Amino acid sequence: MAAVLVASLLGGLIGQTPTKSSDFSGGWVQNPAKSTLMSVSPQDIELSVVDSGASVKVVRRLKASKMPSGVPGETYTGTTDGKPSEERLADLLYSRRLAREGRDLVWRITMTRRGDSATTTFSERWSLSEDGKMLTIFRTYRDGREVTQVFERKR
């Protein structure tokens, strides 16, 4: 009886497939009705993501207006090797570190205003639905504010 139980358990473990990382590549459109946004948050965001495994390139743009910084969009890339990437956008400097945690992407971001060197930090956890049709970005600011953006895959 014990031998059957051990064989059954080992068979179950051997038959399991390891958790594969998610591929975030594709075009995404924010669904404001499913999102929890701040009053100043843009409603009409589109993302284009290229996930090579070792790096993730993001093109973020507004469909109908400009980003809060006054530019129509931004492009940034993060690598999963722990090294920060930097992006200058209008009078802001972003430093981003990217890590994979299970199936999720985690961005740790420091934003610095060039005029007075004031900084703020926040993190974003990106997760995909099991069917790969929905991308959820959960942003947490150091003061406790939270934003949840829900994106649907473009068809």
* Tokens linked to 49: 């993501």
Tell me the per-residue pLDDT of 81-137, one tens digit each, with 9 for 90 and over: 989 999 998 889 999 999 999 999 999 999 999 899 999 999 999 999 999 999 999
Distances (CA, A) of 28 to 9, 13, 83: 41, 36, 26
Alpha helices for the chain (secondary structure H): 2-15
CATH node for 21-153: 2.40.128.20
C-alpha span between 25 and 49 (Å, rounded): 5
pTM above 0.75, yes or no: yes
Domain limits of the chain? 21-153
Mean pLDDT of the chain: 84
C-alpha span between 121 and 6 (Å, rounded): 49
C-alpha span between 33 and 13 (Å, rounded): 41
pLDDT at residue 14 in the model: 45
Task: Say if CB 45 and CB 61 are below 8 A apart.
Answer: yes
| Torsion over CA: 40, 59, 106, 25 (sign) | positive
* Tokens linked to 56: 């993730």
C-alpha span between 16 and 38 (Å, rounded): 42
Tell me the per-residue pLDDT of 38-56, one tens digit each, with 9 for 90 and over: 876 777 899 999 999 999 9
